[in-house]
């Protein structure tokens, strides 16, 4: 260990305090701290901090005067697109999938702190009748989609699944997939890679020590994807497999349609090298970022960056002018990903600042880690959508929220984005799939239940529990032959796993 060389680098960066407890450390602790500090670029980190704090100071400035609505020619809506056009998008997307030219990339570096669990979100079970975790649901959707692609192409196909983890989530994620035999996927088609970590920094610019031998580190945001793609060799792996299109999404959306053929087909029809799937904002002040243009460039603008007056603007049809709610669901060509992941472009992406309560080592007793009651520093993050402004051809596809977006953010003590809201969203969607396929539901006495439950007086509406394995149906297709004309008593589960040749219907308690 070149300790003197490290001391010199720290002194130059005004971060000497990081070795404050050096003489108190054991040999193994010294080795850990040295390794952690030695690979950090302090000059770069100080530059990140300086820029981040300048941006934070101007964060209260509103963007109203430079905001532009999305051009109509880049937009599409599932609800206003003719059926034959949707079918063509679907066929075009499935053709690319069937030819093994599509990959999915999952952003899974977060720790699930708000959810209150000590493991990655993908391993979470929201309480579905089947007990499936988010990872299992997503793996089974990929398996089904591969089979659908094969039916179009007439040959076997693969959809490689790239999962970006962090230092905190990689090993537990890998162990989970191994334990469950990759849920029927081929091991070589599930590729894990790590995003970088950045030090947490106090408001005085000093890097925070969490323990005498450990820097407080945090993932560099889902926009750390581009640096990670460049460093990990994932882009070369994609190129070697013949990938042309990549669907990027976030782990916590239980309704996500990975590699959605219709979305892919739509973006292809626009000749887009970058695309975003969005939902219509529920109301003007909904706390969601909006996809729009800023000074001629595509961007996601946070709700806090515009005034109420602008948020409430409506067009001639009565829809909100800025209504494209961002749901972290994106389309990229591989060529575009290679371009934006090059260091010369990636370095242009600015860090966003989050004020946080960051645990730190006590000045009085170095064996104690203090958890502050109020923010004492910042975490710096880049966002996956920060590359939109590089797009030369952009596409925005608006989908129905109830069909495609139900995020898991919080524990059940919160009032939204909880395990309960996610579970109900999925069960409601599957109930609608079954009704559309000709199924009927009856109560325990055999009386038909209304398709749309209503409440009368103090009576509670009947909640029909219907779950469909993704291996039975990807998005409601092909159910008629199983359920048309049949009556079911809730709960009902259309079950199939990767070892089963045919689906089975399980009714009643299980």
Please spell the DSSP secondary structure of 396-408, one letter per residue.
EEEE-HHHH--B-
109, 117, 205, 302, 410 from 382: Cα distances, Å: 13, 24, 19, 14, 22
Whether the ω angle into residue 314 lies within 30 degrees of 0, i.e. cis, is no
Assign 365 to helix, strand or coil. coil
Helix (H) or strand (E) holding 262: helix 261-269
CB-based contacts of 257, cutoff 8 Å, min separation 6: 141, 263, 404, 474, 475
Contacts of 334 (CB under 8 A, 6+ apart): 235, 238, 239, 243, 244, 245, 246
Q: Beta strands 217-219 and 75-77: pairing type?
A: unpaired
pLDDT in tens, 370-394: 999 999 999 999 999 999 999 999 9
Report how far residue 55's alpha carbon sits from residue 47's, in angstroms, rounded to the nearest whole number.
Answer: 12
pTM passes above 0.85:
yes
Q: 59: pLDDT confidence band, cut at 50, 70 and 90? A: low
Of 341, 331, 388, 107, nearest to 232 (Cα)? Answer: 341
Rounded-to-integer distance, Cα 412 and Cα 404, Å: 21
Q: Are strands 197-199 and 217-219 parallel, antiparallel or unpaired?
A: antiparallel
Bridge partners, residue 83, by sequence: none
Top pLDDT among 117 and 182 is at: 182
Position 457 scores a pLDDT of 46
Lowest mean pLDDT, pick from 44-58, 126-140, 405-419 = 44-58
Q: Is the pLDDT of residue 458 over 70?
A: no
Query: Quick one: what percent of the chain has pLDDT higher than 70?
Result: 97
pLDDT band per the 50, 70, 90 thresholds, residue 113: confident
Taking the C-alpha atoms of residue 25 and residue 31, their distance in angstroms, rounded to an integer, is 9
Specify the 3-state DSSP secondary structure of 311.
Answer: helix
SS3 state at 506: strand
The region of weakest confidence among 339-348, 437-446, 458-467 is 458-467
Q: Quote the pLDDT of residue 498.
A: 86
Tokens representing residue 403 in the block: 């069909």
Can you give the pLDDT at residue 210?
A: 95
On whether the CB atoms of residues 97 and 157 are closer than 8 A, the answer is yes
| 203 pLDDT above the threshold of 70 | yes
Yes or no: say if 210 and 377 are a contact pair by the CB < 8 Å rule: no
| Cβ(237)–Cβ(93) below 8 Å | no
Closest CA to 298 of 384, 385, 224: 385
Query: How remote is the C-alpha of 279 from its chain's centroid?
Result: 15
Rounded average pLDDT over 434-438: 97
Q: Are 154 and 100 within 8 A, CB to CB?
A: no
Does the pLDDT at position 484 exceed 70? Answer: yes
| Distance from C-alpha of 220 to C-alpha of 339, rounded to nearest angstrom | 20
Q: Which two three-digit tokens encode residue 383?
A: 């966002």
| Residues 465 and 438 sit within 8 Å (Cβ to Cβ) | no
Residue reference for tokens 């030369």: 392
Domains of the chain are 57-404 (3.90.550.10), 419-452+462-507 (2.10.10.100)
Mean pLDDT of 248-253: 96
Alpha helices in 154-304 (DSSP H): 170-179, 225-232, 234-241, 261-269
> Residue 159 phi/psi, 5° resolution?
-120, 95
Q: Are 382 and 221 in contact (CB under 8 A)?
A: yes
Tell me, rounded to whole angstroms, the distance of Cα 332 from its chain centroid. 15
Given a contact cutoff of 8 angstroms between Cβ atoms, the answer to whether 229 and 332 are in contact is no
Residue 333, token pair as written in the block: 């060509």
Determine the pLDDT at residue 459: 46
**Cα 143-149-151 angle, rounded to 5 deg:** 110
133 secondary structure, DSSP code? B
Element (H, E) at 208: none
Residues 6+ apart with CB under 8 A from 239: 334, 338
Task: Give yes or no for residue 251 having a pLDDT over 90.
Answer: yes
């Amino acid at each position: 260990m070149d300790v003197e060389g490290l001391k010199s680098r720290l002194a130059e960066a005004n971060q000497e305090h990081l070795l404050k407890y050096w003489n108190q450390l054991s040999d193994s602790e010294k080795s850990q701290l040295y390794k952690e500090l030695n690979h950090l670029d302090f000059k770069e980190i100080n530059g990140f901090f300086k820029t981040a704090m300048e941006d934070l100071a101007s964060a209260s400035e509103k963007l109203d005067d430079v905001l532009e609505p999305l051009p109509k020619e880049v937009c599409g809506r599932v609800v206003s697109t003719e059926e034959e056009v949707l079918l063509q998008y679907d066929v075009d997307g499935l053709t690319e999938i069937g030819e093994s030219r599509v990959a999915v990339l999952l952003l899974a570096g977060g720790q699930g702190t708000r959810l209150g669990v000590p493991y990655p979100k993908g391993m979470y079970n929201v309480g579905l009748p089947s007990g499936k975790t988010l990872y299992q649901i997503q793996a089974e959707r990929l398996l089904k989609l591969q089979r659908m692609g094969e039916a179009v192409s007439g040959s076997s196909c693969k959809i490689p699944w790239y999962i970006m983890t962090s230092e905190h989530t990689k090993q537990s994620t890998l162990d989970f997939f191994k334990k469950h035999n990759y849920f029927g996927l081929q091991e070589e088609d599930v590729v894990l890679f790590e995003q970088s970590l950045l030090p947490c920094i106090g408001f005085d610019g000093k890097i925070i020590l969490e323990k005498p031998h450990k820097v407080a580190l945090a993932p560099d945001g889902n926009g750390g994807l581009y640096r990670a793609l460049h460093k990990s060799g994932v882009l070369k792996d994609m190129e070697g497999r013949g990938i042309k299109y990549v669907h990027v999404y976030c782990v916590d959306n239980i309704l996500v349609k990975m590699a959605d053929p219709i979305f892919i087909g739509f973006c292809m029809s626009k000749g887009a090298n970058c695309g975003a799937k969005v939902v219509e904002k529920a109301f003007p002040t909904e706390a969601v970022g909006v996809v729009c243009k800023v000074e001629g460039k595509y961007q996601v603008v946070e709700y806090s960056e515009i005034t109420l007056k602008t948020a409430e603007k409506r067009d001639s049809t009565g829809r909100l002018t800025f209504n494209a709610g961002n749901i972290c669901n994106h389309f990229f060509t591989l060529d575009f990903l290679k371009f934006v992941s090059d260091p010369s472009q990636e370095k242009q992406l600015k860090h966003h600042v989050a004020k946080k309560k960051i645990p730190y080592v006590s000045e009085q007793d170095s064996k104690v880690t203090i958890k502050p009651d109020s923010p004492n520093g910042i975490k710096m993050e880049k966002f996956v959508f920060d590359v939109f402004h590089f797009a030369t051809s952009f596409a925005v596809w608006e989908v129905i929220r109830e069909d495609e977006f139900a995020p898991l953010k919080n524990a059940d003590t919160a009032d939204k984005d909880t395990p309960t809201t996610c579970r109900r969203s999925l069960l409601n969607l599957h109930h609608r799939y079954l009704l559309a396929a000709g199924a009927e539901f009856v109560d325990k006495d055999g009386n038909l239940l209304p398709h749309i439950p209503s409440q009368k007086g103090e009576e509670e509406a009947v909640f029909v529990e219907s779950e469909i394995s993704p291996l039975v149906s990807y998005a409601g297709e092909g159910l008629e032959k199983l359920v048309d004309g049949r009556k079911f008593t809730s709960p009902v589960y259309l079950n199939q796993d990767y070892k089963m040749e045919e689906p089975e219907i399980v009714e009643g308690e299980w």
